[in-house]
Structure 1
């Protein structure tokens, strides 16, 4: 079998194939949105685009189920655009290329977009079906979830009529999610003083690649290497002894993805070139040993580069290196209430150098507001010590667990009846949109389910084929069991 559209359930996979064919990275969802709207209108479905670009599609109940509570199935339209260095791909123009690898569907050199394309495909497949029983149904497709949750922030009260929301953005079959972390972006801006490079120096580009990366919430506890932090560590340990002069630092591309790659441009005295090569080889061996289980394939490459017109002043360079090395990263605290779940974390996601400054973009996540506030304070204090500016933006709330949720009970009981085993009730260390929906719809009962997705937000992303079928069966059975209105 070479085409995903023959997999079970076919209506879902056929829609996912269409989704992959239409570029839809965050902030560039218009083409896919237009395709969906045209299809919905052709099917005679009521479709509304709200003022921020979210889509709301309504379908009447099947015969005999008109008195059931209204359900909204929710997914986000956008996907994370990440690719391998050797992959030529324009996410705004080129289709995703899904392929079947045994039990999994993957993409060729890029993110797959199963996060949240499978959930979106399931909702659209149900809208297009004539033989799936359900009560009154709404489908909410939000924009820009991965790059700022613009759609969820912009959803207004009164747009939805539903009593129950089923979020489809979870990533582990057999787990039912009833809570999630909140988060906030932190951007540290360090001003640079530049000077002319010294005589008798050679210029090199030092690049770190080959790390696994991954979702900065779901994968943060796995101990994978952060390319930004590792290169910062190399500079901290070697810049003074080798008399390095730094001219640029860049790493990562998204604040919510663990950076897989980073690079620096450095000047080194000609008499220290051999020592630099030795230190690079030693550091590569060191990180491979340290990360032998979690992330064993980190690779450092050193190549000659053209001499730049400027380098950082000694003070600017030292401050930047100290800032990067001191900046916390990874798991800050594990949850006491939910075993095995990260409570608070920080991802040093993106570093960039421009004309006047170096910017460091981080994403803080926490299940509790006080945990987020504590890490915010740590970064503020660090920025103050470095003479840098810091801006906190895009804060979004967590989704507080509700153990008495009726829909969670329905999903749990339905799962037990179908699969004859207990599902795991979970809280996820990631930013599901449910927390934001609670503001305009405080009384809405919410739950989140999904198939098994591995390594989201990285080119290694894959979705397990069997669990897509299991998720589909569960979703359809839950819709059939939705209770009547009071």
Structure 2
């Protein structure tokens, strides 16, 4: 029996433990999807999937509530697969191992998947509990949200019958979201050529590790270290004076996760090896001082590596390091309209070297289309200067706030009645699927709520137990209070 079985509310925590037991990283959600459809059908509920794999489950209204406005609860099926370097875990085969640590639920060495597994479990818990009072209900579970919102892109008009949508992908109890940023994936590819490593050169591996990482939307304003950018900064300081030649450079795993680790394999003249080791210690002290408020365990290790036969040419090494070092990263601009919220940002998420090219994958986010286009233009221009090819794809819209939304006002009033305080009505810099849902369902009234989750998209992810109980009270009270159809 899972530790989570001792927590309340039930069966939400049992359902979450079950979700954790079935691997479901992005592009590998099928086993979980099949399980949920069968679970729903075993309960006598209508359940089907659309052409992109999204799940729709319907539950009839509680007797006496048939005339209420129909509501859809929505979550996404996939989770972000991130693990510590010393953790052995195959996200496509191994279950997540949640455990209770005081007031929090965490995972052992990996992301927990509370984003968006808690929201998914809460929707299933509503379906499972026949004592709850509600109008006509739908549950929409979307595919592959974390790597491009593919399920939301594929959602077709006419499938949902609901007039109100409750998105469960928020991560701060006490905050109600009525809008979010849009985004676009950006890829830069730099052609490379190789040559034999000169005689008398020594090969080293440089590893920058120990950073927190995190969500490239929700955590971008925290000033966390970006491993790709920090390693590029270190190499840029000495690539000319120490005659560095890259054999390999890679860091980060997802364009929407702030990278925690980055690695370089390089060759340099034997007489410069001691100097590089010394400079690494100095640089580590520098970033420890600069990031002391947000990063507690940065590490920069230099070790011997197996000698390779070929390295990037000097010109290619210098160009790649300069390109990565010059890329903007982090908060580009704060919003004038929504105080304290990031308007536009960029995350340099993944760097890799392939046979004939180096590739840098980023995620641009903005509350406004012009901000997104501005950063796209900057990145295209930087690519041209470096002789690289650039691509922007997968653009998705933001969710435009509606200050007159009836469901926003209803959630606010219920929250105040339940907890005797006012919630914060917010716009979030992270990307929610609501903006995409507005295309096939332009008249749908939407709100996003959730419990407190910290460290999403990193192995430090954890969900606050008490906040899950508060979120459940709010969700179930909201479903009961949905007004009648006009």
Partner of 1:273: 273
Partner of 2:316: 316
> Take 1:317 and 1:273, find their aligned partners in 2: how far apart are those partners?
17
Is 1:160 aligned to residue 160 of structure 2? yes
Unpaired runs of 5+ residues, structure 2, are none
Give the C-alpha shift of residue 296 in structure 1.
2.9
Per the alignment, residue 429 of structure 1 pairs with 429
Q: 1:2, 1:100 within 8 Å by CA — same for their partners in 2?
A: no
Q: Is the 8 A contact 1:164 1:445 kept in 2?
A: yes
The equivalent of 1:145 in structure 2 is: 145
CA distance in 1, matches of 2:322, 2:272: 22
> Does the residue aligned with 2:257 lie in a helix, a strand or coil?
coil
Match of 1:45 in 2: 45
Shift of 1:113: 0.2
Q: Following TM superposition, by how much is the alpha carbon of 1:245 offset from its aligned partner in structure 2, in angstroms?
A: 1.1
Q: Does 1:482 align with 2:486?
A: no
What TM-score comes out, normalization by structure 2 length?
Answer: 0.99
Asked if structure 1 preserves the Cα contact closer than 8 Å seen for 2:191 and 2:358, the reply is yes
Partners of 2:372 and 2:276 in 1: CA distance: 39
Give the superposition deviation at 1:394. Answer: 0.7
> Where does the alignment leave 5 or more consecutive residues of structure 1 unmatched?
none
Give, in angstroms, the shift of residue 314 of structure 1: 1.5
In structure 1, the partner of 2:335 is 335
Contact map agreement 1:216 1:257 (CA 8 A) in 2: yes
Q: What is the distance in 1 between the residues matched to 2:339 and 2:4?
A: 36
In the TM superposition, residue 253 of structure 1 has moved relative to its aligned partner by 0.2
C-alpha separation in 2, matches of 1:325 and 1:273? 22
2:213 is the counterpart of 1:210: no
Alignment of 1:114-133 (within 5 A): 114-133=114-133
Q: Would the aligned equivalents of 2:71 and 2:136 in 1 still touch at CA under 8 Å?
A: yes
1:2 shift after superposition:
6.8
Alpha-carbon distance, 1:322 to partner: 1.1
Aligned 1:53-452 pairs, distance under 5 A: 53-452=53-452
In 2: Cα distance, 1:254 partner to 1:354 partner: 17
- Secondary structure at the residue paired with 1:178? strand
Deviations 1:415-445 (A, max 9, x none): 0000010000000001100000000000000
1:325-362 alpha-carbon deviations (Å, 9 max, x no partner):
11000000001111111000000000010100000000
Aligned residues: CA RMSD: 0.8
Q: Is the Cα–Cα contact under 8 Å of residues 187 and 392 in structure 1 kept in the other structure?
A: yes
Q: Which runs of 4+ in 1 moved over 6 A?
A: none
Residue 209 of structure 1: CA displacement? 0.3
CA–CA distance in 1 between the matches of 2:392 and 2:243? 35
Check the 8 A contact 1:289/1:296 in 2, yes or no: no
Alignment check: 8 A CA contact 2:2 2:17 kept: no
How far 1:268 moved relative to its partner?
1.5
Q: Distance in 2 between matches of 1:295 and 1:357?
A: 32
